[in-house]
Amino acid sequence: MKIAMVGSGYVGLVSGACFADFGHEVVCIDKDQSKIDRLHDGVMPIYEPGLAALVDSNVKAGRLTFTTSLAEGIRGADAIFIAVGTPSRRGDGHADLSFVYAVAREIGESMANDAVIVTKSTVPVGTGDEVERILSDSGTEHRFAVVSNPEFLREGAAIGDFKRPDRIVIGAEDEFGREVMREVYRPLFLNESPILFTGRRTSELIKYAANAFLATKITFINEMADLCEKVGADVQDVSRGIGMDNRIGSKFLHAGPGYGGSCFPKDTLALLKTAEDYDSPTRIIEAVVKVNESRKRAMGRKVLDALGGADAARGKKVALLGLTFKPNTDDMRDSPAIAVAQTLTDAGVEVAAYDPEGMELAKPLMQDVTMVDDPYTAIEGADAVAIVTEWDAFRALDFARVKKLANAPVLVDLRNIYRPDDVRALGFDYSSIGRG
């Protein structure tokens, strides 16, 4: 069948390439001419392991194409996915749905055949109702159904997540929508991937509820890490001990500098706004958001403490290793590294940073930070080294070389990738999260 994917960013491009790999005919649509030109040249707009090869193989097979024309792209499509951005709106934190609604209006004006319109973007409860109204008001004579199909892709592992999902959630209000979506996901039906059909509003809420719960798990273990430091416990053992309980599970219980990225920050804010609009307070999520924001600056102060405190830190140098919110992505959105770097520069600390993929996107966000080409250049002359993102490249540092290059053997491990005793045995002043 033919699938049109409106939006060729992270979600749209990964989803489109994977659908093409399943054997569907896929057209990815984007208004950004330069992005489409780069895709035609085989240049990916994002860093995602395996994506370039997947796109290339399906373009060569004739199953994946790109265009800037929505009318052309959706012609003959059985399913039209809306995969445009829904950033946090300034002022109230609600999801900005202007791109979604603009696409819906253009689809209504351009429809040339019956089709199912699918919101792939993360959207608040009730968005599908408005998309349906917009399409109805467009005066289209063609049959349509509006379906919610939220994505659950992890950056850095998105292709595997799409092809081997924990679940597929489809919110549809009629059999036409359900029938087309069964065909869209038929390859995964055959692999017996769990598929949950719900109402449309239920599907929209599932995505927000899932991300909010995961953000809560992260924030919980981070607060336990702070308590561990006070009482002399080890947060990694605490995490293992509670994670072995099947009711809790081990995932998202890794203490660190706080969550960031494209989903958790904006989705928790959007859920808070939705709850407020419906007069149904979500106090737990409210606390999660506040604690997480405070934590990022606290991690900067932790580095200052390793330098002897804020007063002693002025004029010293720190090497930041890792800038993206997580490894295997170039995504800098709400990365803890931004707050850490700001806290340090506010205290008069010189900061040199290295990240394997994120420096180009980091530069405009961290203008007072010097970007360098490798970790050891950042470490040269540093009074402390801080690991902010757990890239594999930082898991096997040459500590003899670090000791030789740095002004002082001070390591602040904000991701707990090293064993304290091992590093201290090498003569380093070592601090980490929740391990004393």
DSSP string over 255-319: --S---SSSHHHHHHHHHHHHHHTT---HHHHHHHHHHHHHHHHHHHHHHHHTTSHHHHTT-EEE
Q: Residue 271 contacts by C-beta under 8 Å, 6 or more apart in sequence?
A: 208, 209, 212, 282, 285
Q: Checking DSSP bridges between strand 370-371 and strand 410-413, what pairing results, if any?
A: unpaired
Cβ(346)–Cβ(304) below 8 Å: no
Q: Checking DSSP bridges between strand 429-431 and strand 350-354, what pairing results, if any?
A: unpaired
Range from 73-82, 83-92, 277-286, 345-354 carrying the lowest mean pLDDT:
83-92
User: What is the percent of the chain where pLDDT is above 90?
Assistant: 95
Q: Is the pLDDT of residue 92 over 80?
A: no
What element of type H or E holds 176? helix 175-184
Q: How is residue 186 written in tokens? A: 């038929």
pLDDT at res. 89:
81
Q: Is the pLDDT of residue 436 over 80?
A: no
Residue 18 known to be catalytic: no
Cβ(208)–Cβ(270) below 8 Å: yes
Cα gap 371→352, rounded to integer Å: 6
* Mean pLDDT value across residues 95-103: 94
Sign of CA pseudo-dihedral 387, 393, 395, 399:
negative
What is the per-residue pLDDT across 58-68, written as a single tens digit (0 to 9) for each?
Answer: 999 999 999 99
Cβ(19)–Cβ(149) below 8 Å: no
pLDDT class for 395, splitting at 50, 70, 90?
A: very high
* Mean pLDDT value across residues 11-15: 96
Q: How many CA atoms lie within 13 A of 354 on its CB side?
A: 18
Q: Is the pLDDT of residue 143 over 80?
A: yes
At which residue do the structure tokens 């409210």 appear?
286
Cα gap 196→206, rounded to integer Å: 11
Q: Is the pLDDT of residue 91 over 80?
A: no
Pick the CATH number of 208-289 from 1.10.1040.10, 1.10.10.10, 2.30.110.10, 3.20.20.70: 1.10.1040.10
Q: Do domains 2-198 and 295-431 have the same CATH topology?
A: yes
CA distances from 182 to 79, 196, 276, 302 (A): 11, 11, 35, 51
What is the per-residue pLDDT across 231-267, written as a single tens digit (0 to 9) for each?
Answer: 999 999 999 999 999 999 999 999 999 999 989 999 9
The reported pTM is: 0.92
Q: Which of 18, 28, 228, 263 is catalytic?
A: 263
Cα angle 339, 359, 258; round to 5: 30
Q: Per CATH, the architecture of 2-198 is what?
A: 3-Layer(aba) Sandwich (3.40)
What is the per-residue pLDDT across 320-360, written as a single tens digit (0 to 9) for each?
Answer: 999 999 999 999 999 999 999 999 999 999 999 999 999 99
pLDDT at res. 87:
87
* Mean pLDDT value across residues 112-137: 96
Domain ranges (residues) in the chain: 2-198, 208-289, 295-431
* CATH 3.40.50.720 describes domain 295-431: yes
**How many other C-beta atoms are found inside a 10 Å radius of the C-beta of residue 290?**
11
